[in-house]
Amino acid sequence: MGAIGDASRDQASGIGQVDAALRDLDTVTQGNARQAEESAQAALGMSSNAAILGRTLEFFRL
């Protein structure tokens, strides 16, 4: 019976560790998604600025 109790405790501990690892993974994944969204928004802004700059430079072309 003692071995079963020990195995159950070990299994519960392992499940706790997996749960903690999955929570950490979820946190990192959410952070990555947030950064990807911010990067996409920055890229759109840069694209818009490049288009404005291109139109502005047309004014100075001979």
The whole-number mean pLDDT for each consecutive block of 10 residues of the chain, a chain of 62 residues, reads 83 94 98 98 97 92 73
The structural domain count of the chain equals 1
pLDDT at 18: 97
Alpha carbon 44 to its chain centroid, in Å, reads 19
C-alpha to C-alpha distance for 40 and 48, rounded to whole angstroms: 12
Q: Give 37-56 as a 3 state SS string.
A: HHHHHHHHHHHHHHHHHHHH
* Residue 41 included in any domain: yes
Report d(CA 19, CA 16) in Å as an integer. Answer: 5
Q: Is residue 43 part of a domain?
A: yes
Domain holding 61, by residue range, is 31-62
